[in-house]
Amino acid sequence: MQDRAVLVTGAARRIGAVVARRLHEAGARVVLHYHRSRAEAEALCAELNAARAGSCAAVQGDLLDIPGLARLVEGAADAFGRLDGLVNNASSFYATPFGAIGEREWADLIGTNLAAPLFLAQAAAERLRESHGAIVNVVDIHAERPLRDFAVYSVAKAGLAGLTRALAVELAPRVRVNGVSPGAILWPDDGRHFDAAERERITSQTPLAHTGNPEDIAGAVKYFLFDAPFVTGQILAVDGGRGLHL
């Protein structure tokens, strides 16, 4: 991974930041994408550059701005003169109870979770072909087992799972495309949809009887990017076995 360059979307906070740190620790140079979390992105980038000079850059972009995604990718590639990996991690996640779904919710959830990964991959394809690179999409176990009241999110992630397999065909043989499908890893920041009782119920449904850690996702992302040269079109559930009981 030494000096390989990877763009991670939504890398300023939460799972994205842990993924970026894990790749950086393994020797990669990382480009942190952020939308509104500028302070967090710049702080993380400063931390990584302090550990290894010239190893991190940050790029800002609204993933709903489809025409701007090509510029975002070019900015990321220009940071280190190459692009070896793309991690589509950024995601909108909130409830859309059926009967009250509007166009705004549809555009936002489909845009961040499905359209942006497609157009980012399309913009990055030539750079990734040059480097025999890889794409990793962060999917969700609810892509296959829809979550009640989250219909649009579930549909968007199901589309991302399909896109992962389609891109594996489209971009072969020079670019590998895989997905990581988290279960309960981090609860939402707002706490509105998963109260203590719901969290306990979900944990009790998980065969390993605990929630996961962002490092679990970061390890799977690293594997697909750099340690799986003969693996493409696969989606790995990192969910403690919870998908078995949904």
Helix (H) or strand (E) holding 181: strand 176-182
Helix axis angle for 116-131 and 151-171, nearest 10°, is 20
The residues facing 7 across adjacent strands are 31, 86
Q: Specify whether the backbone of 124 is left (phi greater than 0), alpha (psi in -120 to 50) or beta.
A: alpha
Helices (H) and strands (E) in the chain, counts: 8, 7
How far is 91 from 153, CA to CA, in rounded Å? 9
- Determine whether 153 is an active site residue: yes
Q: Which two tokens stand for residue 231?
A: 């693996």
150 Cβ partners below 8 Å, 6+ apart? 93, 94, 95, 96, 142
- Which one is catalytic: 34, 94, 153, 223? 153
Residue 67: burial class (beta carbons within 10 Å; 0-12, 13-18, 19+): exposed
Instruction: Give catalytic residues, as residue numbers.
Output: 153
